[in-house]
Structure 1
Amino acid sequence: MNAEPTEPTQLVVGLYEQASVGCGGAPGLWTHPADDRVMVNSLDRWRNVATTAEEAGLHALFLADVLGLYDVYEGSLDAAVGEAVEAPANDPFAYVPALAEVARRLAFVVTASTTYEHPFSLARRFATLDHLTDGRIGWNVVTSYLESAARNFGLDGQLAHGDRYARADEFLEVVYRLLEGSWADDAVVADKSVPVWARPGSVRPVHFEGEHFRVHGPALTSPSPQRTPVLFQAGWSPRGREFGARHGEVLLLPKSDPAEIRAGLDDTRARAAALGRVPGDVRALALARVVVGRTAAEAQAKLEDLQSTYRLRAQLVSYSGDTGIDIARYADDEPLTTTTNGLTSYVVRGDGDRPLTAGDVKRRFASVARGGDLFFVGTPDEVAEAMSRHAGAAGLDGYLLNPLLSPGTLDDFAELVVPALAARGAFDPTPKEGTLRARLRADGRDRLPADFPGARHRFGLEASAG
């Protein structure tokens, strides 16, 4: 599976956003005078984001989400709401129809949890969006990691890590049966003269009974352009990689070291091959932060300006929520516990052998250009060259741009970096066409490929491609 580093011919680039104030590359930067995230409830603000991304040729607007507040730090939600750490958390689904109307070629990826949703209602929601956008929809599949989310849904605490993934596997099987298997491709004839809207016998229940779900079906929606939305997934643990190998079409990586990324992708793609999938069908995007100026001095000045409003406390609130560990309760030289149901990979050192101390975490996050995160800083040509070189070394297909300032980061990227990437032949700046799946696949396919696990559930058990 190993290969020599090569620059991808065309980078896939999306924009990472969240319907909250404290989002972006550093949670506290909403306080910067030029940042507009306090307008999270304004549709005009989001229209500007979507249209700028579309006109720059970006492939998709990715909408992250959480289902609870970051109430771990100091044992209270006060810091989370005071610092606006992923707060408020508006429903990303509500934004998509309005934005899809003004940005008619931009695709949208929406985060939804397999732990707190039900597959029947979620399949219906995604299929409806897929219809309304002519197939411009993806699903960021998450299992969720916040204890506060579990309490919001009537649980005493989170499901264990392995149990969340077991539920997610079954959740996806139900979705496949509903969206791929309960309607024939030619079910809808819409013949007014007969009259027949859907052919008798072309729609069937799924009769699913599993450990977590019982679903009669069929799906309430007719087959949409993609049937199943494009599946994004971010798990990096061994169990997460297993899930990604089975279900992931696009993997999301909050990693920076190209050797680590390539090794992890080689492992995941090998797992996919063992399941009968084409390894190259597993694509990967890394989360990237970009600070660009017309000169190196201007880029450095922008970075220093960001540092002047950077808030370490906000970042520690975020870290505590992510890991489930109240770092405020630890002395700087005290190792953090690794007994957590949160994101355990954030607790151990890079070699995975020893836990971090609280001081390690504070030193890592002392700067806005924090250690371990992927930063590209420089002139347009320097940033374009570094992104292309990094993607080739890591085996990546592209990046999700994680804005430090809004709208400044996106505006700078569109004005300065996109032309530099285009000049290198590394990015197509024209607005994208077709379904999201078609624009991500070399074969231009709208539907899941025949070797995908969900394909075996197609109506009539056909194994042919969609």
Structure 2
Amino acid sequence: MSDPRPLLFGLYEQACVGNGSSAASMWTHPADDRLSATSLRYWTDQARRVEAAGMDLFFFGDVLGMYDTYRGSAATAIETGVELPALDPMLHIPALAAVTENLAFGTTVSTTYEHPFAHARRFSTLDHLTDGRIGWNVVTSYLPGAAANFGLDVLAHDQRYNRADEFLEVAYALWERSWEDDAFLGDKATGRFADPAKVHRIDHEGEHFRVAGPHLSTPSPQRTPVIIQAGWSPRGREFAARHAELIFVGDSDPVAIREGLAGIRKRAEELGRDATQIRAVVGMNLVVAPTDIAVQEKIDSLQAHYSSEAQLAAYAGWGGIDFSRYADDEPLVKRATNATQTKETRADAPTLTAGDVRRQFARVTAFADDRFLGTPDAVADAIGSFVEESGVDGFLLHPFLSPASVEDFAEMLVPALTERGLYGGFPKDGTFRSRLRSDRRDRLADDHPARAGAR
């Protein structure tokens, strides 16, 4: 890739009180407002705050079950509020779009427990209502409790991706091929709403789905929402190479990120795609203050409200291993699971004892990567170095506290980033896809698999 691209900055959220990752227990902090996260006011205030800060993306993660691996039940997750209550973020987005003008939105929807016909209708609706400011984070779901909620067993890791491939095939057919571009007429004089000769069934019959069509929506600004993908396993990277326009990187090591992205882009080129149009963002856990002493005071305050039990419950769910069943000196059994394939739980992972994990989680886990903990100048320099080392195109801020994390980002870090030319260059107008692409296209390029056979 040639010239540096403007960086994308967004906020990672979940429609819950106990926001995910290391912030699960931070709702107990006196400066945190997340207990009001079941209210519309909380979310509209947050969206306005994010847009006022000049951020580009409001991204929602999501889960469909409780974290019930740790200690063999969901009790710890319920008691400490791990990603609970899990409200539906798709219902938040129209309200947030109504109070913002430029902010793009990404939301997580599983291909394992949804049906592509209803899913396609929902996203076409969102794309219309947001004027094309919408992206879909494609996930395959890993929690056993989620599968049980739908009366199913957890599918094997790679089998979930096989189903996802077909799910996307159906959704693409509905979005891209069911209605021709000029099918909609809206002609009051003749009374013709649309040309039936240009609206088509898809008649899909596959291993997992049978869908007749036609799609129920007229073509939306983007037709297909921006495809976001967060899997970092070998199968997840193959999926990203085939489908993704924006990758949410599942690593924090800049060298590993650069190598991983190079592999994805190489594979995308082999599949006939223009790999230079694939963007990537990484999570950022930020603690920033004017002085090093003030930074440490904030870290100490967050640590005082951190629950290692909440973090262990979350991590057990992600990796599929119940750490409570192991004595401190007992090595964790290295095995591939059908959960998220983390660095620590893959079959090829280095041997760790349960005590290693407990000691690691005694401290806020996000503090282990301390490059984004510091004064504004130190963190801004670290961001610039991280971009050069990793090749990422942007960052998603994981808030420790709401609204303080976004306010600190806006008031302290943005000026330092702006001085370095690292902030504010990402396009604010047009559809989400047009902002990501160098050619400013609203619709998918013809080299994307969704466009195969498009009319």
TM-score range, shorter chain: over 0.9
In structure 2, the partner of 1:68 is 65
1:107 aligns with 2:104: yes
| Aligned pair partner of 1:264 in 260, 270, 280 | 260
1:21 aligns with 2:5: no
Distance 1:339 1:426 in 2: 39
Maintained 8 Å contact 2:6/2:425: no
One-letter amino acid of the structure 2 residue matched with residue 54 of structure 1: E
One-letter amino acid of the structure 1 residue matched with residue 133 of structure 2: R
Deviation at 1:340, TM superposition (A): 2.2
One-letter amino acid of the structure 2 residue matched with residue 120 of structure 1: F
Query: CA 1:144–1:324 in 2, change beyond 3 Å: closer, same or farther?
Result: same
Distance 1:446 1:421 in 2: 29
TM-score, normalized by length of structure 1? 0.94
TM-score, normalized by length of structure 2? 0.96
Q: Which stretch shifts more, 190-199 or 336-345?
A: 336-345
In structure 2, the partner of 1:285 is 281
| Aligned pair partner of 1:395 in 375, 385, 391 | 391
In structure 1, the partner of 2:47 is 50
Distance 1:214 1:327 in 2: 41
Maintained 8 Å contact 1:56/1:431: no
User: 1:6-55: per-residue Cα shift (whole Å, max 9, x none)?
Assistant: 99442111100001111154311111111111111111111111001111
Maintained 8 Å contact 1:21/1:84: yes
In structure 2, the partner of 1:143 is 140
Maintained 8 Å contact 1:60/1:108: yes
Maintained 8 Å contact 1:18/1:63: yes
Query: CA 1:431–1:442 in 2, change beyond 3 Å: closer, same or farther?
Result: closer
Distance 2:218 2:61 in 1: 27
1:89 aligns with 2:89: no
One-letter amino acid of the structure 2 residue matched with residue 37 of structure 1: R
Maintained 8 Å contact 1:96/1:108: yes
In structure 2, the partner of 1:463 is none
1:36 aligns with 2:4: no
Maintained 8 Å contact 1:256/1:374: no
Distance 2:410 2:3 in 1: 21
Q: Structure 2 regions of 5+ residues with no counterpart?
A: none
Aligned residues with identical type, % of pairs: 54
Q: Secondary structure at the match of 2:372?
A: strand
Q: Structure 1 regions of 5+ residues with no counterpart?
A: 460-466
One-letter amino acid of the structure 2 residue matched with residue 444 of structure 1: R
In structure 2, the partner of 1:79 is 76
User: 1:131-165: per-residue Cα shift (whole Å, max 9, x none)?
Assistant: 0010000000000000000000011x200111100
Distance 2:261 2:250 in 1: 13
| Aligned pair partner of 1:378 in 374, 378, 384 | 374
One-letter amino acid of the structure 1 residue matched with residue 223 of structure 2: R
Maintained 8 Å contact 2:166/2:208: yes
One-letter amino acid of the structure 2 residue matched with residue 186 of structure 1: D
Distance 1:153 1:35 in 2: 34
Maintained 8 Å contact 1:245/1:269: yes
Q: Secondary structure at the match of 1:345?
A: coil
Distance 1:375 1:309 in 2: 22
Deviation at 1:371, TM superposition (A): 6.5
In structure 2, the partner of 1:333 is 329
Deviation at 1:213, TM superposition (A): 0.6
Deviation at 1:375, TM superposition (A): 4.8
Distance 2:41 2:370 in 1: 30
Query: CA 1:167–1:369 in 2, change beyond 3 Å: closer, same or farther?
Result: closer
Distance 1:26 1:415 in 2: 21
Aligned residue runs from structure 1 range 180-219, under 5 A: 180-219=176-215
User: 1:399-440: per-residue Cα shift (whole Å, max 9, x none)?
Assistant: 111111111111100111112111211111798221111111
Deviation at 1:374, TM superposition (A): 6.8
Distance 1:381 1:429 in 2: 19
In structure 2, the partner of 1:298 is 294
Q: Which stretch shifts more, 208-217 or 374-383?
A: 374-383
1:458 aligns with 2:454: yes
Maintained 8 Å contact 1:364/1:371: no
| Aligned pair partner of 2:423 in 423, 427, 434 | 427
Q: Secondary structure at the match of 2:123?
A: helix
Distance 2:302 2:177 in 1: 50
Distance 1:393 1:169 in 2: 32
How many equivalent residue pairs? 453
Distance 2:365 2:62 in 1: 23
Distance 1:409 1:12 in 2: 18
In structure 2, the partner of 1:129 is 126
One-letter amino acid of the structure 1 residue matched with residue 286 of structure 2: V
User: 1:276-310: per-residue Cα shift (whole Å, max 9, x none)?
Assistant: 11111221111111111122222222112111111
One-letter amino acid of the structure 1 residue matched with residue 158 of structure 2: G
